[in-house]
Amino acid sequence: MTPNNPTGTVYPRKYLEDIGRTAIDHDLPILSDEAYEALVFDGAEHVSPMSIPSMRDNAIGLFSFSKTFAMTGWRLGYLCGPEEFIKRAGTIHNLVLAHVSSHIQIAGLRALQGWDRFSAPIVRELDERRRTLVDELNTLDGMSCKLPQGTFYVFPDFRDASPGLTSQELADRFLQAGVGSSPGTFFGSGGDGYQRLSYSKVGIPQIVEGVKRMKRVIAQHASAGPLEN
């Protein structure tokens, strides 16, 4: 839920309180994906629905070690929520998976114990990449890319830069040029014209080179010329 994938938006407390009131009025549970909780920038504050007293009885938080601590592939995470729900979820989990390997659990515990020591350098590095990527993208003609408040994604608007192309078609052309992106339509029909780009595993030189390649794709589309190999 917050920070949001793919937009990088960090929802303010008031927005979450409004969601909470609607959920309570209709007796709905709130399943909150908070995998990017530590990856926030520019003083943005991550607010968990479970920190809002009126939402604690029907909010369930999903947390992951994959993003904050770069432990992708170890499949380690945890739930927070009402006691009765957690007990039942634990019973199902034990029947299906038994448990995560002990050494992975120990690594996760150490990560939590050293939260600031591990997460702060990652956030600083991601912040530099974030700013570089957004600055480079906004040099493209017709491009509009907002600086995200969280996660390690940007969600630029390519509609004016690539008229006549769907998100999937543009993503295919980017891929031919050696740049991977996720079409905005992966996240719903409202995402058409957008691309999700990740800066989690690329350095500054790769970011600059990637945007250069996207510029060539856009220029070739504008001139209706063939793509270069």
Provide the token pair at 131. Answer: 């700013």
Looking at the predicted structure, is the pLDDT value of residue 228 above 60? Answer: no
22 alpha carbon, distance to own chain's centre: 25
Q: How confident is the model at residue 80 (pLDDT cuts 50, 70, 90)?
A: very high
Torsion from C-alpha of 144, 149, 153, 156, nearest 10 degrees: -10
Q: How confident is the model at residue 106 (pLDDT cuts 50, 70, 90)?
A: very high
**Mean pLDDT, to the nearest integer, of 78-105?**
90
Looking at the predicted structure, is the pLDDT value of residue 227 above 80? Answer: no
**Mean pLDDT, to the nearest integer, of 7-29?**
94
Looking at the predicted structure, is the pLDDT value of residue 226 above 70? Answer: no
Q: How confident is the model at residue 95 (pLDDT cuts 50, 70, 90)?
A: confident
CB count within 10 Å of CB 194 equals 26
To the question of pTM greater than 0.85 for the whole model, the response is: yes
Sorted by where each starts, the structural domains of the chain and their CATH numbers stand as 13-113 (3.40.640.10), 118-222 (3.90.1150.10)
φ/ψ region of 5 (left if φ > 0, alpha if ψ in -120 to 50, else beta) reads: beta
Q: What percent of the chain has pLDDT over 90?
A: 81
Looking at the predicted structure, is the pLDDT value of residue 224 above 90? Answer: no
Average pLDDT taken over every residue of the chain: 93
pLDDT of residue 116: 86
